[in-house]
Amino acid sequence: AQSVAQPEDQVNVAEGNPLTVKCTYSVSGNPYLFWYVQYPNRGLQFLLKYITGDNLVKGSYGFEAEFNKSQTSFHLKKPSALVSDSALYFCAVRDTTGGFKTIFGAGTRLFVKA
Amino acid sequence: ETGVTQTPRHLVMGMTNKKSLKCEQHLGHNAMYWYKQSAKKPLELMFVYSLEERVENNSVPSRFSPECPNSSHLFLHLHTLQPEDSALYLCASSQDDGRGIGGYTFGSGTRLTVV
């Protein structure tokens, strides 16, 4: 069975500092991996995805994520955080062996302090 | 707007009421989804429609009944709900066979409160 874990409920970072939001996954086949962001009173917005190819994936708003197969991780990163990055971030995984389920993590709340 | 519109934004209903949530996508996508978001819990997939055919029903109670009359519209009919059904209900769409490979576009959700 596939699963995804976001080990941190909350991440605090100062504006201008680099940020990392962690995600690990478990699938039986090759994974499709996604990051989404949710602002208050809004639905989720797609940030980036890894399907195949280069392990470093670049996405919207300056975010990037690194796929690490040996560590089964897909951490979200940004070199310099902005206050406006404060939101709820979700990692998601789909197993390529079949089925229609994309499994979402519980979410990590990011606070960026000015 | 993200291209996926959900109405109403907020809904308060009694346990004996019947109501419907509506979702409309303007993106030409061919797959649509209902997700439930409860506080401090992962998103729960409820239903998947691909080309207007239901392809996934994730063990959802029968008090939730989906309807997809065409590729642009998705409904969630609600009846005799329980207070624990209070949550944010999110609609999403994607351009694929329902597997979400292209990534989802989500609506802003309907905040449902069952009293």
For the segment B88-105, the average pLDDT, to the nearest whole number, is 82
On whether the CB atoms of residues B4 and B104 are closer than 8 A, the answer is no
SS3 category, A49 = strand
List the beta bridge partners of residue B50.
Answer: B31, B53
Give pLDDT, residue A97. 67
Chain A residues with CB under 8 Å of B104 CB are: 36, 44, 46, 102
Give the tens place of pLDDT for each residue, B45-91.
Answer: 899 898 777 877 778 999 999 999 999 999 999 999 999 999 999 99
CA proximity to B78, closest of B114, B104, B30: B114
Give the 3-state secondary structure of residue A54.
Answer: coil
User: What is the arithmetic mean of pLDDT over A64-70?
Assistant: 96
Residue A31: closest CA among chain B residues belongs to which residue? B101
Contact check, Cβ <8 Å, A102/B100: yes
As given in the structure block, the two tokens for residue A85 are 């990055």
Comparing A8-17, B17-26, B32-41, B85-94, the range with the smallest average pLDDT is: B32-41
In this complex, is the C-beta atom of B5 within 8 Å of any C-beta atom belonging to chain A? Answer: no
Taking the C-alpha atoms of residue A72 and residue A25, their distance in angstroms, rounded to an integer, is: 6
Residues of chain B contacting residue A100, judged by C-beta atoms under 8 Å apart: 48, 50, 55-56, 98-100
Q: Which two tokens stand for residue A35?
A: 């990051």
pLDDT at B115 over 90: yes
Residue B97: per-residue pLDDT: 66
List residues of A whose CB lies inside 8 A of any B CB.
32, 34, 36, 41-46, 49, 51, 90, 94, 99-107
Residue in A with minimal Cα distance to B6: A43
Distance CA(A88)–CA(A37), nearest Å, equals: 6
What pLDDT, on the 0 to 100 scale, is given for residue B65?
Answer: 95
Contact state of B108 with A105 under an 8 Å Cβ cutoff: no
At A89-112, the pLDDT tens digits run 999 998 766 666 788 999 999 999
Question: In whole angstroms, what separates CA A81 from the centre of its chain?
Answer: 15
Residue of A nearest to B91 (CA): A43
Give how far Cα B68 sits from Cα of A63, A109, B22, B31, B74, Å: 35, 33, 10, 10, 5
Phi, psi of B84 (to 5 degrees): -70, -5
